[in-house]
Chains A and B, each alone.
Chain A
Amino acid sequence: MRAGGPWAEAIRQGLIWGGVAVFLAMVGMVDTFAERQIVAGVISLGLLLLVLTALGVGYQVARRAGGPVAAVLLRGALAGAVAGVLVAALVWVASVVNLRAMFVSATPRLFALLSFGRGPAGTHLILLGWALGGLVGAAAALLGGAWRRPLFAGLTWVLVVGLFQEVVQLVLARTRAGSAVQMLLFSTEGLLPRGALIIFALAAGGSALWAWSHPATRRWSEALPSSRQRALRALSLTLIILLVLLVPVAAGPFLSQVFVLVGVFALLGLGLNVVVGFAGLLDLGYVAFFAIGAYTMGLLTSTGQHGIAGMSFWAAIPVTMAASLVAGVILGIPVLRIRGDYLAIVTLGFGEIIRLLVLSDALRPWLGGSQGVLSIPKPAIGGFEFRGPEQLYYIVVAGCLLVIFVATRLRDSRLGRAWMAVREDEDVAEAMGINLVNVKLLAFAIGAAFGGLSGAIFAVMIGSVFPHSFQLLISINVLALIIVGGMGSIPGVVVGSLFLVGLPELFREFAEYRFLVYGAALVVMMQLRPEGLLPAAIVRRELHAAEEPVAPPLPAEPAEVRPASDG
């Protein structure tokens, strides 16, 4: 606890969160997101952002310091009010100075939103609103888990459905029963308050039911004989696979396109994960292999002027992967003796060199310069053509499954252990007899091959290859999804790409801010949760080694199951 006691801490938190609110407003997120209605006519995403900030400050303050309920609530309200002061100050400044001359996002609409439409005259409302938000946030923190969890689940689901209502409606409208549900929940304006209530009730109820039944079902499944347990696991796996396979049928072309993109990035992430997550070699030029894969595929299969072989997709895939593999070795050898930060910069340099070369006029006769390689045919088996995203989806899924399988096996192999040893300490690993040259080169080459596969699929998906698709930002994007998912964790990569690639695609207003959010996510994750959302077990242990108590003494009485949650 810092000096100054809980009240000073509340003011400090209020200032920080107020600063966040002002930042969100000035960077344009509040204004841009105001167009997206969560519940039609009731709350927009822009407003929600502010509400969440207000709730957040109260929650944070309440979690930081306990004490009597009244004091905690009061501190929450105080912190909220302090944050409100900053917002009110911004509104006041905007009414005196023309901020718009400098800040593009300082629109009249933004200030109307911030001040409930009253401008500086609404100062008392702003303060009151923020104090109330802080109070409610603090109250939420005081609630027991049995109440808080269903509440959060309900609100989250309303938020998710509200955010992605276009997609939800698109999916619902595909079947007749779905259309009925759509009529119930949505109007042409968007999610109805009625719909929001229904979703909230369902989700909150579901969450409560889960909390109530989960220990029981778990005990039941654990009591089963092991053969039955295995059967159960196989059954659930089959169900998941079936669901995955049915996605395009249910989702339609638009969503399938999003999933294809998610898959392409998941492939990239799996490849980079081998290099960064397993072997600990930070590669910022990973996009180079994506580009090499895409261009190789383009050149081999294109029917346009740059095509050289006119191969089919299936024949070209192994060649593409082999080419990327070789490229991985060629670019890998010179950087073998470089470590850490320097490695990141060198690989970044390689990535840029490749992009600039591809873009240059010097190589235009072969690679098409900025015009790129055009008319890449879609793959086909027999008479069946993988024409659109709904069909390409299966190729991506097959690729992902293959790569996940290979990556998992590699991780658990002797080579995987060698990678981890190199990641932990190169010198010690070498002393233990690990051949650094081979091990590192294999990491580069295998990672590159996966990246090449991803590039090949990407080329087919777009139907052409342009140098502009291979910016440094791709590498950063892939790195971000690995970090967020959890370095070295294979499910983490998939979840990371669902979040960091899928979300921005579905939620277009967000696309403008995606790199802002990625940057913030990298910084925040490194401070709060460096192991990622779905960490690999070993990384988590390593990063939290200092915090873990050394083998806590076992409690004398049999460990209790979580306190019964009958509320």
Chain B
Amino acid sequence: MTERLWSLVEALSASPTLAIGLTLGAFFAGNWVFARMGRPLWLPPVVLAAVMLSATIAILPLDYARYQDGARWLTVLLGPATVALGIPLYQQMHHIRALWRPILCTLPVAATLAAVYAVVIAWALGATPEVLASLAPKSVTAPIAIGITEQLGGSVPLMMGGLLITGVVATLFVDLLAGLLPVHDERILGFALGLNGHAVGTARAFEISHTAGAFASLGMGLTGVFTALILPLVFHL
């Protein structure tokens, strides 16, 4: 009986349904625990969900390669999801027009430095080229960053981990520096959150205000496009 139960996972993982079910389950569980914990800034639901999902995969007689194979049915949607980001970008166009000069001057400098600071520091500490390629898109929203890392020859799992940490610490640093500098303009705070902290920062910006959220989406979208266009060209030189 126990043996039959154990081989059940083997049989069920023959179709992608098990991997999809596990991912969906962890997604909802992560959101639930996050709400229960009082929505802590430093622990976003995606981290909770990922930890729970990893633990489940580790416990079950299911290896990561097989899980990933089944979950590919979900990851396929990342392509159309990236295209979908063009719609809020279009809808934020009036914000760009209102503040286009500061945005256009800051974006190329700040988005480039977001990648350069991390790559230079990691390089100075002896990281391999694969690690550098995985760290370069750390401030870019995940669906775009996956494409960039694949182009550069980095490791997608490492990039994803770095991306999450970047989102969380960018949110904490924006909160900290807003008080120290001081910066109170919600548009600037939102833009900084989206530019440095992609989706995690944008979620935080929407908690501040709708304007901050709009500027964060804008910062996230523009950083994604800019980095996707520039990084592969720079890395190929």
- Answer yes or no: do A and B interact: no
Residues of A within 8 A of B (CB): none
Residues of B within 8 A of A (CB): none
